[in-house]
Amino acid sequence: DIQMTQSPSTLSASVGDTVTITCRASQNINRWLAWYQQKPGHVPRLLIYQTSTFEPGVPSRFSGRGSETEFTLTISSLQPNDFATYYCQQYQDYPWTFGQGTRVEI
């Protein structure tokens, strides 16, 4: 199975900051990587798929990059609504796997 490792586990930031979350795959997943946002008590929300393609309605301050085994999600000009937990997920091979999550907190 492909293991997904996110770093950091927790990230402290302020409104207006630019933050970057890293996701590493245990083997080459090409660009088959998605990012989700989840707020407490809410259903996850897809932000980006295929490494850098936006789901409709996602603000342009989110951006995704990477290939093969290393990927990043960058949030520019952090907004109060962005404080949440973020998960990467590979869909190169089954079983699909998620990273352990990165909590972005104030």
Partner 1 sequence: QVQLVQAGGGVVQPGGGQRLSCVASGFNFLTYGPHWVRQAPGKGLEWVAFLSSDGTTEFYADSVKGRFTISRGTSSDTVYLNMNNLRTDDTAVYFCATLISPDVWGQGTTVAVS
Q: Environment class of residue 92 by beta-carbon count within 10 Å: exposed (0-12), middle (13-18) or buried (19+)? A: middle
Residue from 24, 52, 55, 92 that binds partner 1 (CB under 8 A)?
55
Q: What is the contact mask toward partner 1 in residues 8 to 37, using x (rule: CB under 8 A)?
A: --------------------------x-x-
Q: Does 1 help bind partner 1 (rule: CB under 8 A)?
A: yes
Residues that bind partner 1 (CB under 8 A): 1, 34, 36, 38, 43-46, 49, 53, 55, 85, 87, 89, 91, 94-101
